[in-house]
């Protein structure tokens, strides 16, 4: 997504400016052509020569001491995308109010390219009503905000305000650019484990973290798709991902079936509860009342609901198994999916909560393709490669 793309990286005067060097390197490694622009304050934290060495081009620092008579407009027109990282509270205020009194803000105001802003500051500054208002205004301009993370801050403090991981910012830059093999494709993904209430404080659930579904969503977005992620777990932040939070299987079914009507591909990676309490207590069960008798009833079959649609999307199912592949093969045929991903959640390094997964691809004819243990991000990329192959064989060009 970034190969050959022209990216302007703006660095402003915060302690996190040193991380911009890592971001510049990540962008270059992904094939982007990178130019940099720095505020005077940024040079107090990291030298311009660092970025010159990484990108091969000297940064613009002073608008009035450059070879170009109008470096900010030149950069603004040259850029396919602009990313400001770190963006201080002062920078957010300048950009939100159209001020252009430094090289970075002037460059952002002089572009029609997509803009990504990655703020970094102390928690109190990030939470201040003025900053909150400025961020909301920047979002209304169409700028994409990569929210800061919690962690160590300047001066030994900790809290929310730490610059986002450079790879996450690079993903966001790729996400605001058009193009990619899945451009124009609507993708629906489910993730996480549903929670079926027993009473007001307890639920029946499972160990699914949602990491696999999130990885699949991120990979699709990187390839240009617009993704709707229906999740019972934490979602992801990406310009082309719309997160729909749900809790129960019924909520997931309702959201998923509605979204499936316009989807080209649906990947059902969520761990959906098969049963739920027939009636949740409107209150709290008490130990003093003794062990409760909980009557269970089936939940909606989210996967089958899509497979039975007349004009359904290309359908990918998931099966978390506890040994052997026979049941997964039977499920692929029973659920009438186009492809099924099976994984043994008892295998070392595979399954719920891990960063890796060992899966077997199952086709409706019963043929299988076991993959080795891989990072979930790599499983996601290979899965989209396989989906592309199968859709092409069916006559679908994207």
Per DSSP bridges, beta strands 203-204 and 359-362 are: unpaired
| CATH code of the domain in which 365 resides | 3.40.50.10300
Bridge partners of 115, per DSSP, are 82
Number of domains in the chain: 2
Distance CA 10, CA 86 (A): 8
| Catalytic residue numbers, as ranges | 206
Contact 98, 139 (CB under 8 A): no
Distance CA 156, CA 158 (A): 7
pLDDT at residue 398, as a whole number? 53
Residues 201, 120 share a domain: no
Give domain status of residue 139, yes or no.
Answer: yes
The angle at the Cα of 351, spanning 345 to 355, to the nearest 5 degrees, equals: 155
Beta-carbon count within 10 A of 363 CB: 17
Give domain status of residue 152, yes or no.
Answer: yes
Residues 218, 78 share a domain: no
Residues 60, 160 share a domain: yes
Last residue of a domain, one of 176, 203, 222: 176
Residues 121, 99 share a domain: yes
Give domain status of residue 287, yes or no.
Answer: yes
Give domain status of residue 362, yes or no.
Answer: yes
Residues 242, 156 share a domain: no
Give domain status of residue 320, yes or no.
Answer: yes
Contact 116, 81 (CB under 8 A): yes
| CA 384 to chain CA centroid, nearest Å | 16
Residue 168 DSSP SS3: helix
Q: Which residue has the tokens 């026979």?
A: 326
List average pLDDT for each run of 10 residues in the chain, which is 398 residues long.
91 96 96 96 96 95 83 94 97 96 96 94 94 93 90 85 92 85 93 93 89 92 91 89 95 96 96 91 86 91 94 92 81 90 82 83 91 88 92 73
Alpha carbon separation from 228 to 187, 237, 246 (Å, rounded): 6, 12, 13
Residues 367, 263 share a domain: yes
At 142, phi and psi to the nearest 5?
95, 5
Residues 354, 209 share a domain: yes
Burial code of 68-101, b = ≥16 C-beta within 10 A, e = fewer? eeebbebbbebbbbbbbbbbbbbbbbbbbeeebe
| CA 169 to chain CA centroid, nearest Å | 11
To 10 degrees, what angle do helices 211-222 and 166-176 make?
50
pLDDT at residue 178, as a whole number? 79
- Scanning the chain, the segments in alpha helix (DSSP H) are 17-29, 48-55, 71-78, 89-96, 103-109, 123-127, 129-140, 166-176, 211-222, 249-260, 302-307, 326-334, 376-393
Instruction: Say how many CA atoms lie within 13 Å of 101 toward its Cβ.
Output: 8
Residues 105, 41 share a domain: yes
Q: Residues with Cβ < 8 Å from 305, sequence gap 6 or more?
A: 253, 256, 257, 260
Residue 188 DSSP SS3: strand
Closest of 376, 391, 398, 3 to residue 217, by C-alpha:
376
Closest of 83, 111, 107 to residue 94, by C-alpha:
107
| CATH code of the domain in which 128 resides | 3.40.50.1950
Contact 51, 7 (CB under 8 A): no
Residues 197, 99 share a domain: no
Closest of 240, 237, 270, 265 to residue 252, by C-alpha:
270
Give domain status of residue 97, yes or no.
Answer: yes
Distance CA 24, CA 335 (A): 46
Give domain status of residue 1, yes or no.
Answer: no
Domain carrying residue 131? 6-176
Contact 51, 21 (CB under 8 A): yes
Give domain status of residue 398, yes or no.
Answer: no
Residues 302, 162 share a domain: no
**Integer-rounded Cα radius of gyration of the chain:** 24
pLDDT at residue 382, as a whole number? 92
Residues 216, 172 share a domain: no
Bridge partners of 83, per DSSP, are 9, 116
């Amino acid at each position: 997504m970034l190969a050959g793309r022209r990216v302007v990286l703006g660095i402003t005067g915060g302690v996190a400016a040193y991380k911009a060097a890592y971001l510049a390197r990540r962008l270059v490694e992904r094939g982007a052509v990178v130019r940099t622009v720095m505020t005077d304050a940024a040079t107090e934290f990291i030298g311009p020569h660092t970025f010159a060495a990484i990108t091969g081009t000297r940064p613009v620092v002073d608008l009035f001491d450059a070879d170009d008579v109008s470096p900010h407009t030149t950069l603004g027109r040259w850029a396919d995308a602009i990313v400001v990282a770190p963006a201080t509270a002062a920078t957010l205020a300048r950009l939100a109010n159209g001020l252009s009194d430094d090289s970075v803000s002037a460059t952002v105001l002089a572009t029609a390219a997509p803009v990504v802003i990655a703020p970094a500051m102390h928690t109190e500054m990030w939470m201040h009503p003025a900053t909150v208002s400025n961020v909301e205004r920047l979002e209304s301009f169409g700028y994409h905000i990569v929210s800061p993370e919690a962690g160590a801050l300047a001066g030994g403090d900790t809290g929310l305000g730490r610059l986002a991981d450079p790879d996450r910012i690079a993903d966001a830059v790729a996400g605001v650019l058009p193009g990619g093999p899945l451009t124009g494709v609507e993708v629906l993904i489910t993730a996480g484990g549903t929670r079926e209430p027993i009473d007001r404080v307890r639920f029946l659930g499972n160990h699914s973290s949602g990491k696999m579904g999130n990885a699949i969503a991120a990979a699709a977005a990187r390839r240009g798709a617009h993704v709707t992620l229906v999740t019972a777990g934490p979602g992801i932040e990406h310009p082309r991902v719309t997160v729909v939070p749900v809790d129960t299987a019924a909520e997931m079914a309702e959201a998923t079936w509605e979204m499936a009507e316009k989807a080209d591909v649906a990947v059902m990676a969520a761990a959906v509860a098969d049963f739920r309490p027939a009636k949740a207590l409107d209150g709290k069960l008490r130990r003093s009342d003794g062990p409760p008798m909980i009557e269970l009833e089936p939940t909606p079959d989210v996967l089958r609901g899509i497979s039975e649609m007349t004009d359904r999307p290309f359908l990918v199912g998931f099966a978390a198994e506890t040994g052997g592949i026979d049941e997964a093969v039977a499920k692929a045929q029973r659920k009438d999916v186009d492809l099924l991903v099976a994984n043994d959640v008892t295998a070392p390094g595979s399954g719920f909560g891990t960063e890796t997964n060992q899966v077997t691809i199952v086709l409706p004819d019963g043929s299988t393709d076991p993959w080795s243990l891989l990072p979930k991000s790599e499983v996601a990329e290979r899965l989209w490669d396989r989906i592309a192959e199968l859709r092409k064989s069916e006559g679908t060009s994207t």
